[in-house]
Structure 1
């Protein structure tokens, strides 16, 4: 006999699985591809905004958008106990991490910053290992391959000759550590069930912290030029609001290893964008480097399937 109820339940389950895969792929696209453009956008905005206040403004605008979206979708704010870890993650990644990155970008190139930031997934893995969540060996191997590929891609940019560039590079490396600590906290801490609220809380608290530090340090926004507004809106709505929401979704549903893989992929994506839209011609070394990065990500993603999640 036919079982229409069973067939309907099976079709519904398949539809939900497809929707979940689509959401994961969409989140990966935002984090892996669109975040590759953030370094150049930050440099465009630094002409009008001081570094720390830039992070504050873009984060607070993004937080307002996500809070409004959560209210429209009928998602109530999480209880107070679930704000602590998300708030601390926001302070680490935005108040400290993003501010250090903005300072570093004043003295180094966006390509160099992207290359140095590739250390972040390995830093996150080390912190998680110390916290008791040991990644599989293949994940370490994937991280090493990814870093090697990014180093090949920016072998000239990683020349630390100039003192000012050395200072900028040091600030970017410090930013990677605090961002990695935030990733580990999101992966291990007690976060809201909703990725929307996880992202909104991080942006709200992290942005508020950056605003306090920037104002206390004497930063002021003197003149916002029309040329800087598109970059500011792009950073606020796409990179911060959309990016943090996608990033939280990946950590919730795919794990920290998959979410942090963007640090390897962003640099070759930036090269690919230059090829497609700016007519740039990459060298043979750059093409080989992109192949190495893709291999590292493949190893990392395969290893991530075998990671046992630690309940928060």
Structure 2
């Protein structure tokens, strides 16, 4: 049976969403395992520099056009916001905050994106403003839980990480950017370079002992978390509406919490479960009711 172009694209959208829902949900635990041996910024730098270099080399071997300097600047700006200030900050916060709570805080990304979209003339409607208000209430409730009360710095870092990721996702739509998979490669290389600088400024040093579990976690993050899932995210950003592209945000916390409790012995208190419910309601208000369709 032959699949037409639109049906094929819908299949790719579904596969990309599945990758974001479950792979990215598991990366919070993978990062926690990786930073058992590696300092957080160094770990994130290794992840994205290696993934970006591998993808860049493969694309060049296939004859892809090398980005110009304007595209490199745009990709580095977005990579710095998403991967360094966003993902790297999560790795830093996970030194003191559980994986489930980290994922729950990042679940506010769609709310931030709806807010930042106003900077480019896409002001939130009444329903989206309601979602932003409900989601903000959820974050306030979350800060009352045991994890974030024990680490106010971690709480602030995670909130800033979510805002940075959302702003980079929105701003990246109007910046000069490489096309196709080269955008993923350039953003990972640019963001990885920013993380290398952050690691140097933070005075991080190469670990004396490295566990096999940490190495396996970094390999997992490189292959599935970066090459597969991050590329899927960029594909969705340019193919569907932002609300659907960021719908992973209310699935990731469920996956991360379950894995954290099951594999890492983490605990979630009643306040954090309440915050989860409130934030999910806020995100659902921001999401479109119907399938947004293909642009």
TM over 0.5: yes
Q: Could you list the runs of 5+ residues in structure 1 that have no partner in the other structure?
A: 1-10
Q: Does the alignment pair 1:67 with 2:56?
A: yes
1:298 to 1:77, Cα distance in 2 relative to 1, 3 A: farther
1:62 deviation in Å?
0.9
1:235 and 2:235 equivalent? no
Aligned 8 A contact 2:45 2:192 in 1: yes
Give the conservation status (yes or no) of the 8 Å contact 1:101–1:171.
Answer: yes
2:190 corresponding residue in structure 1 = 205
Q: Which residue of the other structure, out of 20, 26, 29, is the alignment partner of 1:40?
A: 29
TM-score scaled by length of structure 2: 0.83
The one-character-per-residue Cα deviations of 1:53-87 (angstroms, maximum 9, x if unpaired) are 11100001110222133234432223333232222
Matched residues in 2 for 1:96 and 1:292: separation?
22
**Corresponding position: 1:305 with 2:292:** yes
Map 1:220-299 to 2 at 5 A. Answer: 220-222=205-207, 223-271=209-257, 293=280, 296-297=283-284
Asked which structure has the greater CA Rg, the reply is 1
Quote the Cα distance in structure 2 between the aligned partners of 1:269 and 1:227. Answer: 20
- Farther off after superposition, 165-174 or 134-143: 134-143
Measure how far apart 1:150 and its partner are: 8.7
CA distance in 1, matches of 2:135, 2:13: 21
| Alpha carbons of structure 1 residues 283 and 224: separation in structure 2 relative to 1, 3 Å | closer
Q: Are residue 183 (structure 1) and residue 169 (structure 2) matched?
A: yes
Q: Indicate conservation of the 8 Å contact 2:49/2:189, yes or no.
A: yes
Q: Is the CA contact 1:136–1:303 (under 8 Å) kept in the aligned structure 2?
A: no
1:150–1:293 contact (8 Å) kept in structure 2: no
**Structure 2: gaps of 5 or more residues:** none
CA RMSD of aligned residues (A): 3.6
Partner of residue 110, structure 2: 121
The alignment of Structure 1 onto Structure 2 pairs a total of residues equal to 293
Matched, 1:161 2:153: no
- Name which of structure 1's ranges 101-110 and 256-265 shifts more when overlaid on structure 2: 256-265
Alignment check: 8 A CA contact 1:146 1:297 kept: no
What CA deviation, in whole Å up to 9, does each residue of 1:133-156 have, x standing for no partner? Answer: 22444444456667778999x798
Q: How does 1:19-38 map to 2 (within 5 A)?
A: 19-38=8-27
TM-score of the pair, normalised by structure 1: 0.79
Contact 1:111 1:157 in 2 (8 A): no
2:159 and 2:283 map into 1 onto residues whose CA distance is: 21
